[in-house]
Amino acid sequence: MIRVGILGDIGSGKSYVSKNFGFPVFNADSEVAKLYKTNKKIYLELKKILPNYFNSFPIQKEDISSAILENNNNLKKIIKVVHLEVRKKMRTFLKNNKNKKIVILDIPLLLENKINKKNDILIFVQSKKSEVTKRLNNRPNFNKKLFKKFKKIQLPLAYKKNKSQFIIKNDFTKRSVIKGIDKILNEIK
């Protein structure tokens, strides 16, 4: 099985690119959203370590945001609890797809959390900063302060780009993304 890790900036289109590969995708962001809705263990852990923010299950995105915005250390505490469960979900995903030729890992903190393996193929999604900013500002509930906190825990984009074997230029048209994907698939197959 070839593991392909998708890297890039927040809002660069990593998930869009991932979906267009046509192979099974592990999307960490959607897994986290599901965990907040379904995993009472995470709720109880967060309530124990951050009792002022978590008072009801399922966990509300607003509660997460409030905790993070209130104190820089809260983001680290939340990540520590949530990422254990996300890793379990990823292991299950990999086990369930072990017979697939390729799997796509859409994990925003792939390198930061050392989830990647030496043989993983890393692809950097490159997008124009102005386009990314426009898209982020159009997202419902986009919070600039929250965005800045998440940027601080991420490795520099230049580092991620340098670590990648391939770059897909995403101009947010399906044609350019598919063209980039086809070129990469021809090289790695």
Same domain, 188 and 112: yes
Give Cβ neighbours of residue 131 (< 8 Å, ≥ 6 apart): 171, 172
Q: Could you say which of 42, 71, 96 is where a domain stops?
A: 96
Same domain, 80 and 104: no
Is pLDDT at 143 greater than 90 in this prediction? no
User: In the structure, what pLDDT confidence band is assigned to residue 139 with cuts at 50, 70 and 90?
Assistant: confident
Percent of the chain with pLDDT over 70: 100
Is pLDDT at 152 greater than 90 in this prediction? no
CB 121 within 8 A of CB 166: yes
Residue 140, preceding peptide bond in cis (omega within 30° of 0): no
Written as six digits, the tokens of 111 are 């390198």
Q: Could you say which of 63, 96, 129 is where a domain stops?
A: 96
Whole-structure pTM value: 0.91
Q: Which residue carries 């500002």 as its tokens?
A: 137
Same domain, 111 and 132: yes
Same domain, 117 and 177: yes
DSSP structure string for 34-77: HHHHH-HHHHHHHHHH-TTT--SSSPPHHHHHHHHHH-HHHHHH
Q: Residue 144, class by beta-carbon neighbours within 10 Å (0-12 exposed, 13-18 middle, 19+ buried)?
A: exposed
Q: What is the mean pLDDT of the chain?
A: 93
Is pLDDT at 22 greater than 90 in this prediction? yes
User: In the structure, what pLDDT confidence band is assigned to residue 142 with cuts at 50, 70 and 90?
Assistant: confident
Same domain, 132 and 47: no
Same domain, 120 and 180: yes
Same domain, 107 and 140: yes
- Distance (Å, rounded) from C-alpha 32 to C-alpha 52? 21
User: In the structure, what pLDDT confidence band is assigned to residue 102 with cuts at 50, 70 and 90?
Assistant: very high
Domain count of the fold of the chain = 2
Q: Could you say which of 96, 122, 146 is where a domain stops?
A: 96
pLDDT tens column, 46-80: 999 999 999 999 999 889 999 999 988 999 899 99
Supply the CATH number for residue 178's domain: 3.40.50.300
Residue-number span of the structural domain to which 59 is assigned: 29-96
